[in-house]
Amino acid sequence: MAKKGNEIKKNLEDIGKKIIEDAKRGKVPNISVPARVTNNIVFDPKYLCYVLGDKTVTRSAGNVRHVKPLAQMLKVASFCKGLVGGTKHETKRGLYYISESWGEKLKFDEQQESDNLIEDIEAIIGLPREDIHIIPNPGGSVYGDLTLKFKNPAGKWMKVNCLQTADGQTIGPRMCEAEIENCNAKMIIAIETAGMYNRLMEENAHEKFNAILVNLGGQATRATRRLIKRINEIKNIPVFIFTDGDPWGLHIAMVVMAGSAKSAHVNRMLATPSATWIGVTASDIKKYKLRSDKLKDVDFTRIKELKKDPRYKNDKRLQEELKTWEEIKKKAEQQALLKYGLRYVVDKYLPAKFKELGVKIK
């Protein structure tokens, strides 16, 4: 971690050194930033996720409108350099308020300004903001035979086994980058809703499937996606995503698998391309005769968008499910499966889905 911290500090220093070198050579100082705009977001078939293309924008001290943002970028990079390697972290919101102490010429007038600069720095150094200790709000939780080692806020090393908590271990900034001390599980089951996550915990799904259960809490936070990816890569175990039976649930799964357009500049560190969506599928709504609601216009619009999305375009199974939704015009929640009993999902539904996907249990 020390080596990584030193490398990150150097990357942040290089932003300032570029400005100094330009000034020494008599050039107008400027910084090129990867363009985080829609027409520069491309799907990378190698990494199977959205990434930024080759377009850049230049912040130049020769443009009066760029002078303040350029100076603010250097100040933010310097601030983050002071955090890296230590135990302190800050949120984007906190950074916005901290800038009040930088004086009238450097403070941010609106949080969107500081948020944009943080994302610019992420794009420049090619690392997520968590690595420079600008953290997201905690979200999601993990339950299973997984022991993580990390430094607590006081800087002391500690270990947490994710089975030794009542409701699973909250996934925060220290958890998502923790060392994986021990993991005996054979798979990860990521679950969209807290209700179904709790159901699987209480029915001991972690034991039946020798699995780590992850509560996505709806659209998964970056910290949650980062932890899933790291466990998948380090322990080489598969990831299965269990969502509501609607196009939005499928999209939640696809963000875990291939990243989001907004995070295109760091998707390679967040996305888990090998993950598999279990369902609830449109076909399941018919097969299990689930209680359902009618799809709304916004749902049909979403289906049309997903059918054209390169992340879905070449996946025959996903295309068939999108087509089925259009045909049945219905959607269902995960909990609709509970009409067959509290243990049904663990005893019948998930085993059937794993068999369908050719996955051996335990």
Structural class in CATH, domain 2-135? mainly alpha
**Does residue 5 have a pLDDT over 80?**
no
Both tokens of 356, joined, read 């369908």
At 16, is the pLDDT very low, low, confident or very high (cuts 50, 70, 90)?
confident
**Does residue 63 have a pLDDT over 70?**
yes
- Looking at residue 189, what is its pLDDT? 97
State the first-to-last Cα distance of the chain, in angstroms, to the nearest integer. 34
- Looking at residue 333, what is its pLDDT? 95
* Half-sphere exposure for 263 (CA within 13 Å, toward CB): 23
**If phi over 0 gives left and psi between -120 and 50 gives alpha, with beta otherwise, what is residue 340?**
alpha
Cβ neighbours around 123 below 10 Å, total: 18
pTM, whole model, 2 decimals?
Answer: 0.86
**Does residue 160 have a pLDDT over 70?**
yes
At 204, is the pLDDT very low, low, confident or very high (cuts 50, 70, 90)?
very high
At 2, is the pLDDT very low, low, confident or very high (cuts 50, 70, 90)?
very low
Active site residues: 97
**Does residue 25 have a pLDDT over 60?**
yes
**Does residue 220 have a pLDDT over 80?**
yes
Q: Are the beta carbons of 260 and 51 closer than 8 angstroms?
A: no
At 1, is the pLDDT very low, low, confident or very high (cuts 50, 70, 90)?
very low
Burial class (CB in 10 A: 0-12, 13-18, 19+), 195: middle
Burial class (CB in 10 A: 0-12, 13-18, 19+), 186: middle
Nearest to 75 by CA among 93, 58, 100: 100
Q: Which residue has better confidence, 356 or 166?
A: 356
What fold characterizes domain 141-356? Dna Topoisomerase Vi A Subunit; Chain: A, domain 2 (3.40.1360)
Strand 169-170 relative to strand 141-143, pairing: antiparallel
At 250, is the pLDDT very low, low, confident or very high (cuts 50, 70, 90)?
very high
Q: Do domains 2-135 and 141-356 have the same CATH topology?
A: no
- Looking at residue 193, what is its pLDDT? 93
- Looking at residue 331, what is its pLDDT? 94
- Looking at residue 66, what is its pLDDT? 86
- Looking at residue 95, what is its pLDDT? 92
> Distance between CA atoms of 172 and 151, rounded to whole angstroms?
12
Strand 293-294 relative to strand 276-279, pairing: unpaired
For the chain, the average pLDDT equals 88
> Distance between CA atoms of 205 and 201, rounded to whole angstroms?
6
- Looking at residue 3, what is its pLDDT? 47
> Distance between CA atoms of 258 and 224, rounded to whole angstroms?
14
At 244, is the pLDDT very low, low, confident or very high (cuts 50, 70, 90)?
very high
Q: Which residue has better confidence, 274 or 260?
A: 274
pLDDT digits (tens, 9 = 90+) for 281-299: 999 999 999 999 999 999 9
- Looking at residue 195, what is its pLDDT? 93
Q: Which residue has better confidence, 141 or 173?
A: 141
- Looking at residue 49, what is its pLDDT? 81
pLDDT digits (tens, 9 = 90+) for 329-349: 999 999 999 999 999 999 999
**Does residue 164 have a pLDDT over 90?**
no
Work out the average pLDDT over 189-202. 95
pLDDT above 90 coverage of the chain, percent: 44
* Half-sphere exposure for 303 (CA within 13 Å, toward CB): 24
- Domain boundaries defined on the chain: 2-135, 141-356
- Looking at residue 362, what is its pLDDT? 64
- Looking at residue 243, what is its pLDDT? 96
